[in-house]
Amino acid sequence: MMALAAPAARADVVVPDRSLSQWNGEDGYRLWLRHEPLEGAALEQLRAFNPIPGTPASPESETLGIAESELREGLAKLTGGSIDADRPRGVIRFDCGRRERGGDGRFRVTSGARAIRISGPDHLSCLYGAHALLRELSRGVDPATISLDETPAMSLRLLNHWDNPDGHVERGYAGRSIFDWWRLPERLDRRMIDYARANASLGINGVVVNNVNASPLFLTPHYLPKLKRLADAWRPYGIRLYISARFSAPRDVGGLPTADPLDPAVKAWWNAKADEIYAAIPDFGGFLVKANSEGQPGPQDYGRTHADGANMLAAALGKRGTVIWRAFVYKAEDETDRVKQAYQEFVPLDGKFAGNVIVQVKNGPLDFQPREPFHPLFGAMPRTRLMLEAQVTREYLGQASGIVYLAPMWSEVLGTHTGRGGTVAQVIVPGGIAGVANTGSDRNWTGGHFDQANWYAFGRLAWNPALSPERIAREWAAQTFSREPEFLDAIVPTMLASAGTVEKYIAPFGLAHLMGTGHHYGPAPWVCDLARPEWNPCYYHRADKAGIGFDRTAGGSDALAQYAPSVAARWADPAQMDDRLLLWFHHLPWQHPMRSGNTLWHDLVARYGQGEAEAGARSALWARLADHVDYRRHAEVAADLATQEKEARWWRDASIAYWQSLNGLALPAGVRRPDHPLDWYKAKTFPEAPGQ
């Protein structure tokens, strides 16, 4: 079997010999919290203010002490340590409530000629306000003009880790898990504190520490001291700890013969388990549950509903915590359309979930694809708290190669009107937002340096969905790489276009789930023989000699009917709709006339080519920015972009070769033929692919 060849050497990404010191410099560990010294007018303005944090030497809480320390150290870095002790000092005062936490996180930062005041209902407000002030100063804002008044849009802003007890991360592309369960509780890695710092700087206030395909070990007494140590370390940063709970735990580790949610012994087991956890972790957040999906146990194993299962756990937690119940469900025996199943199972249960249950819904109805419509459950369950689940890790988007900035995708979903109850962002306010984390043991945290931008963007949008992806990208790039306008003016548009580039060569016109089996890496649209029909790419593209695409109109699976009529009308007519979802909703002939005046086949081939060309241009652009970025990180990003360029060519060639094997059509005039025959692409295997 063949392995994918390494990219050919390119003049614009050649790595010259450098001294060891250049490789021992920037490595990405500091994320966006570098607080590099200001220059020019911004530095003079800060020096003129001559700030000093005005908090007492013995702060009232650990949280307030952390806020003071963050501010003091950040200011020292931004000024290069050049505050003049002999000049009048500008004072930064903390004026927060007496409580350490308990509010909603809102804060104010107000400035005058010689003072800045950070205020809010509790000490966590001062921590959030300190980070916000440093972010503004890092952007070069005059400290005398800063005025912020912010309240988070979502009460729950969670990261979900798909990390296993053995250190493996499912769909992780940045090394092993950051959680060292082997050494806990005796040894707490410093990385756990730096992780909390980064999350607090964004306002993220909850972390689910283990995989939704949950091990029951996390519900055993052996793990409770480990979880307690983490919870204690994160508490001053405003982060509550959650765990994914295996629904069958009463049977797996509790010694019961059943996990039936209506069985009194099962209820008693969960009640006792919740009491045990809260005795050790008084602010334990609650349980995240994946049930009756992809072989995971759940209430349907006993003829019960999702509401029966969720409400049983909710009763055990009571007012102390929250049950987050995932709506990601599908059955192999349902041969109609996998994307319809969550709606069919959950809409009849609207209003039947307990008040401390949140149903967590993926951004689209399939599975974090490069292009999906928003999930039809948003707006369809007005009496149920819903939570948006986004995937920060790039399972279906090239994994950790190159640049794929996801804020435009998330912003588009959040701003989409459901037709039933406002935008998606408005629908989820009572619930919140969760992101599948992309962190790992790699020194730069996320595998690729630009994947840090997705962690950052998730936190910023969770706090304020109205922020523009452009503003977020500019904030992140300035804090992470360089404030130089020439650099920002080049890299920000590149980031904004990057997800669209990958969509063109992986999922043009709404094609979905065409990735390789298991590892989800690389193209495999030819896979048609897996045991479960909905695991096969052929199930989704339905291509043959006559045409391509999944008919989800009334003449097909009728999944379109799950949306509000005003929304469905936008996607019903292939001649009028957004062509990025064309083949998601319609099965069309290869010769279908497009608005461009060309055929579908012509434009499909062209879109693959556009994606490949854009990936190549990105590598060349990054090479031209070498003078703006430290050597080590520039070289590492250049290598990642070379990989992405190679992958774009591979996706384009393998996909076109397969479609031609079905339709027998010639390529449009002047189009390059695939580099290899179809069998060459089919023969590839990737046993070393991470995240499986």
Tens-place pLDDT, residues 126-169:
999 999 999 999 999 999 899 999 999 999 999 999 999 999 99
For residue 589, pLDDT over 60 is answered with yes
Q: Confidence class of residue 54 from pLDDT cuts 50, 70 and 90?
A: low
Q: Name the active-site residue from 294, 573, 627, 679.
A: 294
pLDDT given at position 83: 63
Q: Confidence class of residue 508 from pLDDT cuts 50, 70 and 90?
A: very high
Residues 642-650 have a mean pLDDT of: 98
Same domain (yes/no): 211, 287: yes
Q: Name the active-site residue from 136, 260, 389, 395.
A: 395
Residues 255-271 have a mean pLDDT of: 98
Kindly state whether residue 355 falls inside one of the protein's structural domains.
yes
Kindly state whether residue 186 falls inside one of the protein's structural domains.
yes
For residue 326, pLDDT over 70 is answered with yes
Kindly state whether residue 171 falls inside one of the protein's structural domains.
yes
E-strand stretches of 478-518: none
Residue at a domain's end among 102, 121, 149: 149
Tell me the CATH number at 662. 3.90.1330.10
Tell me the CATH number at 303. 3.20.20.80
Same domain (yes/no): 250, 305: yes
Same domain (yes/no): 257, 330: yes
pLDDT given at position 268: 98
Same domain (yes/no): 541, 428: no
Q: Residue 297 in 3-state DSSP?
A: coil
User: How many domains would you assign to the chain?
Assistant: 3
Same domain (yes/no): 84, 175: no
Same domain (yes/no): 63, 110: yes
Q: Round to whole Å and give the CA distance between 562 and 676.
A: 42
- Rounded to 5 degrees, φ, ψ at 433 are -145, 140
Same domain (yes/no): 287, 188: yes
Same domain (yes/no): 168, 144: no
Q: Confidence class of residue 9 from pLDDT cuts 50, 70 and 90?
A: very low
DSSP letters spanning 517-532: TTT--SB-TT----SS
Same domain (yes/no): 286, 426: yes
Residues 547-552 have a mean pLDDT of: 98
Residue at a domain's end among 121, 149, 177: 149
Kindly state whether residue 9 falls inside one of the protein's structural domains.
no
Same domain (yes/no): 89, 230: no
Q: Name the active-site residue from 163, 367, 475, 579.
A: 367
Same domain (yes/no): 193, 342: yes
E-strand stretches of 78-223: 90-99, 107-111, 115-122, 147-150, 157-160, 206-208
Q: Round to whole Å and give the CA distance between 145 and 290.
A: 48
Parent domain of 63: 31-149
Go through the chain and tell me how many residues it has.
Answer: 692
Residues 576-589 have a mean pLDDT of: 97
Kindly state whether residue 251 falls inside one of the protein's structural domains.
yes
Kindly state whether residue 487 falls inside one of the protein's structural domains.
no
CB 44 within 8 A of CB 651: no
For residue 317, pLDDT over 50 is answered with yes
Kindly state whether residue 11 falls inside one of the protein's structural domains.
no
Q: Confidence class of residue 55 from pLDDT cuts 50, 70 and 90?
A: low
pLDDT given at position 7: 36
CB 445 within 8 A of CB 24: no
Average pLDDT, the chain: 94
Q: Which runs of consecutive H residues, i.e. helices, occur in 441-480?
A: 452-463, 469-480
Same domain (yes/no): 316, 442: yes
CB 505 within 8 A of CB 648: yes
Kindly state whether residue 573 falls inside one of the protein's structural domains.
no
E-strand stretches of 72-193: 90-99, 107-111, 115-122, 147-150, 157-160
Q: Residue 229 in 3-state DSSP?
A: helix
Q: Round to whole Å and give the CA distance between 208 and 283.
A: 14
Q: Give yes or no: 395 in active site.
A: yes
Q: What percent of the chain has pLDDT over 90?
A: 88
Tell me the CATH number at 123. 3.30.379.10
Which of 109-118, 214-223, 505-514 shows the lowest per-residue confidence on average (mean pLDDT)? Answer: 109-118
Residues 297-307 have a mean pLDDT of: 98
Cα torsion 454, 390, 514, 394: sign: positive
Helix (H) or strand (E) holding 358, with range, is strand 357-362
Strand order across the beta sheet in which 51-53 lies: 51-53, 90-99, 115-122, 107-111, 147-150
Residue at a domain's end among 149, 166, 182: 149
DSSP letter for 186, please.
T
CA 147 to chain centre: 30
